[in-house]
Amino acid sequence: MLLEELRTDVMKYAQRMYEAGLTVGVSGNVSAIERATGHIAITPSGMDYADLTPADITVIDLQGQVVEGQRRPSSEKMLHVKIYQKRSDVNAVFHTHSTYATALAAMGEPIPVILAEVAAIAGGPIPVAPYARFGTEAFGDVAVAAMGTGPAALLQNHGVVCAGVDLQKAFLIAADTEESAKIYLLSLMAGKPAIRLDSAEIPILHEIYATRYGQNPLKE
């Protein structure tokens, strides 16, 4: 089976996304790319996450055409394709419907830098992409434009997209984005909007996260 290991990993992270409450029902989708071939392993359209097997993960190319698989790929495949086409630093994409971040997307409200974690992962506010119909190339185009070089964007009236160097990083970005959205909305509900982080502190935290967080190789 083509890309068997990558398809297995995509399946596992899709199930992890669902179990973490970052999506509901059969919404959302996950993918990862093998850069050497340009082949993308992506979750199928409309299947229960609990029932997925590696064979259900479809392989498509960078034009969105099916290379191998018995299932129809996600209807939002072009969202993933557009990101991979424009962002050579990205090797995994999560499209979630997490509750709090999606609420902000419905409001057209970006996530401000109220937490050190937002500064660390995003290097600035998490923006909102303007509305575009899901499943279209325009949907991918507005997401890519909104993300810029960042790791995430809210999709107006729809959900969230997060990208990373691998599946683990992209998943953590999706989880942190939801947690940040939750805290921001709770602060608004309490009637006292959260304090924004000092702008001078943001690039420092972002650099620390990029170079010194986790188990990156130690630098001399």
Q: Pick the catalytic residue from 76, 201, 207, 220.
A: 76
Structure tokens at 37: 């071939």
Q: Provide the b/e sequence for 76-100 (b: ≥16 CB within 10 Å).
A: bbbbbbbbbebbeebbbbbbbbbeb
Asked about 76 being catalytic, the answer comes back as: yes
Q: What is the DSSP string of the chain?
A: -TTHHHHHHHHHHHHHHHHTTSS-TT--EEEEEETTTTEEEEPBTT--GGG--GGGSEEE-TTS-EEE-SSPBPTTHHHHHHHHHH-TT--EEEEE--HHHHHHHHHT--B-S-SHHHHHHHSS-B-EEPP--TTSHHHHHHHHHHHTTSSEEEETTTEEEEEESSHHHHHHHHHHHHHHHHHHHHHHHTTSPPPPPPTTHHHHHHHHHHHHSTTPPPP-
Active-site residue list: 76
